[in-house]
A and B are shown apart, each in its own frame.
Chain A
Amino acid sequence: MGLNELSVERLSILLKKGEITPWDVVQDLKDAVERDRQSELPLNAYIDFQEEVISREIQQYEGGANSLYGTPIAIKDVINVIGTRTTCASRILSEYRSPYDATAITYLRTKGGIPAGKLNMDEFAMGSSNENSAFGVVRNPHDRRRIPGGSSGGAASAVAGDLAVAALGSDTGGSIRQPASMCGVFGIKPTYGRVSRCGLVAYASSFDQIGPVTKTVMDGALLLEAISGYDSKDSTSAQEPVPLYRLAVGRSVKNMKVGIPEEYFGEGLDEAVRGKVERGINILKEAGAQIKQIHLSYTKYAIATYYIIATAEASSNLARFDGIRYGTRFLETEDLIELYEENRSMGFGAEVKRRILLGTFALSSGYYDAYYLKAQKARTLISEDFKLAFREVDVILTPVSPVPAWTIGEMMDDPLQMYLADIYTVPVNLAGLPAASVPCGTVAGGLPVGVQLIAGQFREEDIFSTAGIIEREAQ
Chain B
Amino acid sequence: MNYEAVIGLEIHVQLNTRTKCFCGCSTEYGAVPNSHTCPVCLGLPGALPVLNEEALRKGVIAGLSLNCEISNFTVFARKNYFYPDLPKAYQISQYALPINRKGFVAILDEQNEERKVGITRAHLEEDAGKLIHDENPRGPSYIDFNRCGVPLLEIVTEPDIRTPEESYRFLTAVKEILQYTGVSECNMEKGELRVDVNISLRNRGEEKFGVKQEIKNMNSFANVKKALEYEIKRQSRILKTGGSLRQETRLFDQMKNVTVAMRSKEEAHDYRYFPDPDLIPLVITNEFIEGVRAVLPELPEKKRERFISQYGLTRYDAEILCLSNKTARYFEEASGGYKNPKKMANWILSELLKELNQAKIEIDQFPVTPLMLKELFELMDSGEISGKIAKEVFSLMASSGKTAGEIVDEKGLRQLTDESHLLSLVEEVVEENHQAVSEYREGKLSVFGFLVGQVMKKTKGKANPHLVNELLKKKIEAC
A contact residues vs B (CB 8 Å cutoff) = 79-80, 86, 88, 93, 96, 98-100, 102, 197-202, 204-206, 232-236, 312-313, 315-316, 319-322, 324-326, 334, 336, 340, 360, 363-365, 368, 372
In angstroms, Cα B47 to Cα A212, docked, is: 21
Q: Is B272 touching A363 in the complex (CB atoms < 8 A)?
A: yes
Segment at the interface with A among B7-15, B85-93, B346-354: B85-93
Residues of B within 8 Å of A80, CB to CB, are 45-46
Whether a CB of chain A sits under 8 angstroms from the CB of B387 is no
A205 with B42: CB separation less than 8 A: no
A232 adjacent to B50 (CB under 8 Å): yes
Whether A98 contacts B50 by the Cβ 8 Å rule is no
Given A100-B39, A320-B88, is A205 in contact with B277 using a C-beta cutoff of 8 Å? yes
Q: Tell me if A235 and B46 are in contact (CB < 8 A).
A: no
9 nearest A-B residue pairs (beta carbon): A319-B89, A206-B277, A363-B272, A205-B277, A201-B45, A199-B46, A365-B270, A201-B46, A80-B46
Encode contact with A along B20-49: 1 for CB under 8 Å, 0 otherwise. Answer: 000000000000000000010011111111
CA distance A334 to B141 in the complex (A): 10
Task: Give the B interface residue count (CB, 8 A).
Answer: 29
Chain B residues whose C-beta falls within 8 Å of the C-beta of A321 in the assembled complex: 45
- Whether A102 and B46, one on each chain, are in contact in the complex, defined by CB atoms closer than 8 angstroms, is yes
* CB of B429 within 8 Å of the partner chain: no
Q: Are B49 and A99 in contact (CB under 8 A)?
A: no
> In the complex, which of the residues B48, B84, B88, B270 contacts A233, with contact meaning CB atoms closer than 8 Å?
B48
Question: Are A98 and B46 in contact (CB-based, < 8 A)?
Answer: yes
B446 to chain A, nearest CB (A): 85
Q: Please state if A235 and B51 are interface contacts (CB–CB under 8 Å).
A: yes
Known: A200-B46, A364-B270, A365-B272. 11 other contacts (CB 8 A): A100-B39, A197-B48, A233-B48, A234-B48, A316-B274, A319-B89, A320-B88, A363-B80, A363-B272, A365-B270, A368-B274
| Residue contacts A-B, CB under 8 angstroms, 17 given | A99-B44, A100-B39, A102-B46, A204-B277, A205-B277, A233-B50, A235-B279, A235-B280, A313-B274, A313-B277, A316-B80, A316-B272, A319-B88, A319-B89, A334-B138, A340-B82, A363-B80
In Å, the complex CA distance between A151 and B272 comes to 27
Number of A-B contacts (CB under 8 A): 95
Q: Does B194 make an interface contact (CB < 8 A)?
A: no
The interface of chain B, by Cβ under 8 A from chain A, is 39, 42-51, 78, 80, 82, 84, 87-90, 138, 143, 270, 272-274, 277-280
Give the one of B82, B88, B273 with max A CB within 10 A: B82
Please measure, in the bound complex, the distance between the C-alpha atom of A99 and the C-alpha atom of B44, giving whole angstroms: 9
Least Cβ distance of B168 to chain A in Å?
Answer: 34
Q: Which residues of A contact B47 (CB under 8 A)?
A: 100, 198-199
Q: How far is the CB of B137 from chain A (nearest CB, A)?
A: 10
A320 in complex: contacting residue of B43, B49, B138, B273, CB < 8 Å: B43
A321 to B43, CA, bound (A): 10
Contacts A233-B50, A316-B78; A88 near B274 (Cβ below 8 A):
no
- Most chain A Cβ neighbours within 10 Å, of B43, B277, B279: B277
- Cα distance A53–B170 in the bound complex, in angstroms: 61
Q: With a CB–CB cut-off of 8 A, which chain A residues contact B90?
A: 316, 319
Cβ–Cβ < 8 Å partners of A98 in chain B = 39, 44-46
B-side binding surface: helix, strand, loop or mixed? loop
Q: Tell me which of B42, B48, B277, B280 contacts A198 (CB under 8 A).
A: B48
Tell which of B47, B48, B84 has the most Cβ of chain A within 10 Å.
B48
Q: Which residues of A contact B44 (CB under 8 A)?
A: 98-100, 326
Inter-chain CA distance A93–B44, complex, in Å, is 11
Looking at the assembled complex, report how far the CB atom of A432 sits from the nearest CB atom of chain B, in whole angstroms: 11
Q: Give Cα distance in the complex from A232 to B280, angstroms.
A: 13
Taken together as a complex, chains A and B put the C-alpha atoms of A334 and B273 apart, in Å, by 29
Give Cα distance in the complex from A56 to B50, angstroms: 32
The answer to whether residues A235 and B270 also contact, given A96-B45, A319-B82, A334-B138 and a CB cut-off of 8 A, is no
How distant is the Cα of A360 from the Cα of B269 in the complex, in angstroms?
A: 13
Most buried by A among B45, B48, B87: B45
Q: Which residues of B contact A233 (CB under 8 A)?
A: 48, 50
**Most B-side CB within 10 Å, residue of A93, A96, A206:** A206
Q: Are A320 and B87 in contact (CB under 8 A)?
A: yes
- Residues of chain A within 8 A (CB-CB) of B272 are 315-316, 360, 363-365, 368
Which residue of the partner chain, among B48, B84, B143, B273, contacts A235 with CB atoms under 8 Å? B48
A residues within 8 A CB of B270?
364-365
Known: A236-B280, A336-B84, A365-B272. A322 touches B89 (CB 8 A): yes
| Residue numbers in B under 8 Å from A325 (CB-CB) | 42-43, 87, 143
Question: CA–CA, A322 to B272, complex, Å?
Answer: 19
